[in-house]
């Protein structure tokens, strides 16, 4: 009887040790994968926003391929862009995230929301690298930026007149938290599959 209890205790200890080892190994996998994911997230997000920007331009130029300002309003061809929620919402529906058309440094059509839930029309682009690149140097910007106090992965392109004057900006972006949640969701699915494989193999 004493040997039976010893064998049971030994078996229990071995099972516990196996479970602890499995949990530790899974934790190590998650930590390493999370570090790799975070390191890779910005590069993948920038690539995604570059793709999204191409779609945004297709939507914008479908309204009109030349840009001008008339009576203080921005136009694509004959289509007015001020308060054109349908256009930016079309971009959002195609690529996800958020989209904005600026006239100068002011948001004139956007689905970026203010804290009260209203569209952030009339708010201005903050001073910083985005403004310097797009309005100052007339060059695109890709990278992270704060929008109304929230961090986003972003793409900004200048909207130019035929003469090369910067009339506004086209923007697409996604909240960093939303992007990372998507990435970690994939990570957890893959980790779960790995743990399941390890358990079945053991």
Give pLDDT tens digits for 116-169.
999 999 999 999 999 999 999 999 999 999 999 999 999 999 999 999 999 999
Q: Nearest CA to 176 among 149, 139, 158?
A: 149
- Transcribe 24-80 into DSSP letters: HHHHHHHHHHHHHHHHHHHHHHHHHHHHHHHHHHHHHHHH-SSEEEETTEEEETTEE
Where residue 195 falls among pLDDT bands split at 50, 70, 90?
very low
Give pLDDT tens digits for 9-39.
656 666 676 676 666 766 666 566 555 666 6
Instruction: Return the domain boundaries, the chain.
Output: 2-39+185-201, 47-181
More confident residue, 34 or 100: 100
More confident residue, 27 or 73: 73
More confident residue, 42 or 138: 138
Identify the pLDDT of residue 18.
Answer: 66
CB atoms within 10 A of CB 26: 16
The helix/strand/coil state of 174 is strand
CB atoms within 10 A of CB 195: 16
Where residue 42 falls among pLDDT bands split at 50, 70, 90?
confident
Identify the pLDDT of residue 11.
Answer: 63
pLDDT reading at 4 higher than 90: no
Where residue 202 falls among pLDDT bands split at 50, 70, 90?
very low
| Top-tier CATH class for 47-181 | alpha beta
Identify the pLDDT of residue 47.
Answer: 86
């Amino acid at each position: 009887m004493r040997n039976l209890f010893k064998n049971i205790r030994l078996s229990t200890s071995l099972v516990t040790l196996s479970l602890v080892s499995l949990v530790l190994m899974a934790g190590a996998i998650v930590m390493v994968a999370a570090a790799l994911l975070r390191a890779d997230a910005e590069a993948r997000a920038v690539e995604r926003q570059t793709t999204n920007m191409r779609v945004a331009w297709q939507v914008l130029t479908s309204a009109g391929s030349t840009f001008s300002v008339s009576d203080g309003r921005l136009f694509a061809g004959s289509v007015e862009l001020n308060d054109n929620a349908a256009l930016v919402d079309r971009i959002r529906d195609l690529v996800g995230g958020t989209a904005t058309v600026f006239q100068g440094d002011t948001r004139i059509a956007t689905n970026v929301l203010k804290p009260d839930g209203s569209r952030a029309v009339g708010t201005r682009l903050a001073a910083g690298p985005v403004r310097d690149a797009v309005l100052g140097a007339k060059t695109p910007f890709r990278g992270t930026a704060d929008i109304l106090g929230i961090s986003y992965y972003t793409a900004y392109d200048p909207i130019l007149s035929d003469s090369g004057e910067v009339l506004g900006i086209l923007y697409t972006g996604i909240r960093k938290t939303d992007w990372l949640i998507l990435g970690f969701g994939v990570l957890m699915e893959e980790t779960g599959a790995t743990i399941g494989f390890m358990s079945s193999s053991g």
